Amino acid sequence: MIVLQWNKLTGKIPRELANNNLTGKIPLSLGNLSSLTIFSFHENNLEGSIPNQMSQIKSQKIFTAEGNRLSDSLSNASQLQIFDISSNKFVGQVPTDLQNLKSLSWLNFETNNLGSNSSNDLVFLTSLTNCSHLEMLSFSMDHFGGVIPNSITNLSTRLNYLYLGENEMTGTVPVGLENLINLIGLAMEDNSFTDLSNNKLEGLDLSQYSFTGNLPAAVGKLKNVNALDISQNNHSGEIPRTIGDCLNLEYLYMQRNFFQGTIPSSLASLRGLRYLDLSQNNLSGQIPKDLQEIPYLQYLNLSFNNLKGKVPKRGVFANVSALSLIGNNKLCGGVPELRLPKCPTRITKKVNSHTLMLAIAIACGVPSVVLILMLFLICWMKKLRSNSSFASLAMNHLLNVSYKDLYQATNGFSSCNLIGSGFFSSVYKGFLPQVERQVAIKVLNLEQTGAIKVLNGECKTLKPC
């Protein structure tokens, strides 16, 4: 029973008291509700501690108070099924007597300050091994440190979701996670798992675990693993070059992730590799040609990436039944059975280069030829000036010549009489009766700016000293 008399509440009575703006502390008197089964005050502004009396309510099955500002203590009611205190301000070590919560199916205390980056932060996990109904466990973003205890592999086989990312955990990832046969979501990102050198596991299947983030470079310390499957996760970033240090690898499955960058050439160091699947990622660049030198490679799947360039022809690349490259539209070459387009040859590049050089030569040569012709014309005109009778006539008086005379002298400015042409003018040869000899007749192109200036300059050059 809940009594709300003598208040000023308005509106309808809500089905639960969550998602309001309730403030203050949880009243101690709530601990007297011996038949309380559901306590849901999430997304309010409650603060302070959870009353110890509430831990004694045997009938309580659901306790959700995430998104408040609660702190100091945790509940351990024996019949509790759902316990969610995420996004609060809880501090201190997680109790190690959680084995009493035998009916617990959902435990979420992420985004608090429960860890102190110490080796004892994760001791509580051992007490959860008796919670045989546990289906979801999340303690990410809690500042937990230390090494994950091996007891985590003994959690309930009903466990579907395990989230422990964004903490400060170190050491080895327990090798018995495959015991959690119903696990479909596993997040361990942004920790400091580095010491894998003593891992004696020979086969590691981490496919379909919803892993996110970069694959750590420490993967290269899995010296004894001969089969590694991290397919169908959400890995991103580049494939670390240290993958080539796993010298015992025979089977490597990395398909259906979000890996990007180039295929590391260090994969060619895996001389015993038999199966390699990198399909359905975002890999780019060229296929390392050294992959064709892996002697025992029987299956290679690089399909549905963004690879480009020449496909090798030897090794596994010569067996089209053992090779998949579809979905890479920029690949070329390879064995004829692949039916890929031919790669551009170097000869084509040379032809294109020669064509470009020829065009440059022509562009530079034409002005040079024009300049030579202009110099020849000037010299020729100077030679004409040496004739005394013509020079005397030119010095004594200017010769009056009509357009008709010029037209007749050049046979109508016939191309047969054209000596040369330039940017500003054309020069014709013709016979003038007035001087009884051949003369050069220049026709200016007045549409070109500077034509008059050029003519004046030439006249000064031809003027006798």
Per DSSP, helices labelled H in 133-256 are none
In 3D space, the residue among 429, 435, 399 whose CA is nearest the CA of residue 411 turns out to be: 429
Cα 50-54-59 angle, rounded to 5 deg: 145
State the Cα–Cα distance between residues 286 and 142, nearest whole angstrom.
42
- Report the C-alpha gap between 230 and 236 in whole angstroms: 12
CA atoms within 13 Å, Cβ hemisphere of 462: 20
d(CA 109, CA 79): 18
Instruction: In whole angstroms, give the CA distance from residue 157 to residue 179.
Output: 7
- 332, two tokens: 């070329």
Task: Describe the strand order of the beta sheet including 82-84 as a list of residue ranges.
Answer: 38-40, 62-64, 82-84, 106-108, 136-138, 161-163, 185-187
Tokens 């998949």 locate to 324
Please state, in angstroms and rounded to a whole number, the distance separating the CA atoms of residues 8 and 173: 56
Sign of dihedral through CA atoms 403, 407, 408, 410? positive
Rounded Cα distance between 305 and 16, Å, is 50
- As beta bridge partners, residue 64 has 40, 84
- Helical ranges in 29-183 per DSSP H: 124-127
Is 442 annotated for ligand binding? Answer: yes
Output the known binding site: 442
Output the known binding site for ATP: 442
